[in-house]
Copies of this chain bind each other. A is one copy, B any other.
């Protein structure tokens, strides 16, 4: 059983090479540029870990992990266009550097490249992997659409936000683990428990992300605290506050959102604290983390096989940056 760090290194060695032909350079150079920006490679490593939970890592798991990472990069390139994001990982996004049209096509061809890697695996298992991959890909698109819809809505319910996060973030983490388990030969019950572990872990991760943006230690967080508040981004914190705030608190919050005063971040944070949304968020995170852990416990493999996933879960949601 290998740790996340070790598998991440190994995946880097496998993945960090050219993925596209040289020509036409106007199409493929943007792809290579974006892949060179790197990333944490969480999703492909989850696929490898899902495999290793049940058996030694198969050759096919490397193909699927590669497909997953290319798929994830496809979503990032297109999301950046939609969000008009100028930077990613401190560098220019594809559409900023090469234009919207090329970014659109570069994303398209990145998705096709993902399927090229999928098509290399054992034909006997390919249809099952493709069904899960396709289902997940559609859900990720649905999540992005809901996210855009929510931006235009005044009120979003917690349940709707949860569903969006699940689609946009959780299902790909869950499916990455499950594809690994399928490749490793896990039984259906174990596959589904691992999927649920990933799904709940993804939600806990997002709650932590929202929490850190508001309450993180600026020294450790590495970026400006309150970025989501400044951008009026709907987060677990904002949505919950709107649900529990008094009439006067709601009025103040709506005013801050609309008027963007200079002291907006401090005043919204004060409202968050008055509504005890910081404590609530930590409890919500712990609840999802506990549920995730229970699913992992229930998987019928030797306990030591689960250790790397336990360590990763702890690391991901107990991080303070």
Q: Does A6 contact B (CB under 8 A)?
A: no
Q: A99 to nearest B CB, angstroms?
A: 9
Q: Does A123 contact B (CB under 8 A)?
A: yes
Q: Which of A111, A120, A141, A148 has the most CB of B within 10 A?
A: A141
What per-residue 1/0 map shows which CB atoms of A136-162 lie under 8 Å from chain B? Answer: 011001101110110000000000000
Q: Is there contact, CB below 8 Å, between A104 and B102?
A: no
Is there an interface contact between B119 and A130, defined as CB atoms closer than 8 Å? yes
Q: Which residue of B105, B116, B145 contacts A27 across the interface (Cβ within 8 Å)?
A: B145
A144 to B, closest residue via Cβ = B105
What separation, in Å, do the CA atoms of A120 and B145 have in the docked complex? 27
Cα-based distance from A27 to B111 in the complex (angstroms)? 19
The residues of B that contact A149 with a CB separation of less than 8 Å are 24, 26
User: Does A260 lie at the interface of the complex (its beta carbon under 8 Å from any beta carbon of B)?
Assistant: no
Task: Note all chain B residues with C-beta closer than 8 A to A144.
Answer: 105
A89 to chain B, nearest CB (A): 22
Q: How many copies does the complex hold?
A: 2
| In the assembled complex, A302 has its CB within 8 A of some CB on chain B | no
A134 close to chain B: CB less than 8 A: yes
How many whole Å from A183's CB to the nearest CB in chain B? 15
* Chain B residues, Cβ within 8 Å of A291: none
Known contacts A101-B82, A149-B24; is-contact A127 B126 (Cβ 8 Å): yes
In this assembly, does A109 line the interface, its C-beta being within 8 Å of a C-beta of chain B? yes
CA separation between A115 and B144, bound complex, in Å? 20
Contact A116 B134 (CB under 8 A): yes
* Chain A residues bordering chain B, tally (CB within 8 A): 37
Q: Which residues of B contact A126 (CB under 8 A)?
A: 119, 123, 126-127
- Contacts A141-B27, A146-B24, A149-B24 given; does A130 touch B115 at CB 8 Å: yes
Q: Is A131 an interface residue (CB 8 A)?
A: yes
Judged by a CB distance under 8 angstroms, whether A278 is at the interface is no
- A124 interface residue (CB < 8 Å to B): yes
Assess whether B119 is in contact with A137, with CB atoms less than 8 Å apart. no
A78 in the interface (beta carbon within 8 A): yes
A148 near B102 with CB under 8 A, answer yes
- Cβ contacts under 8 Å, A269 to chain B: none
Closest Cβ–Cβ distance, residue A100 to chain B (whole Å): 8
Complex formed: what's the CA distance from A102 to B142 in Å? 10
CB contacts (< 8 Å) of A123 on chain B: these are 123-124, 126-127
Q: Which residue of B lies closest to A133 (CB)?
A: B115
Contact flags A215-259 to B (C-beta < 8 A → 1, else 0): 000000000000000000000000000000000000000000000
Contact of A26 among B78, B101, B112, B145 (CB under 8 A): B145
Q: Which 4 A-B pairs have the closest CB atoms?
A: A119-B130, A27-B145, A82-B101, A109-B141
Residues of A within 8 A of B (CB): 24, 26-27, 78, 81-82, 101-102, 104-105, 107-109, 111-113, 115-116, 118-120, 123-124, 126-127, 130-131, 134, 137-138, 141-142, 144-146, 148-149
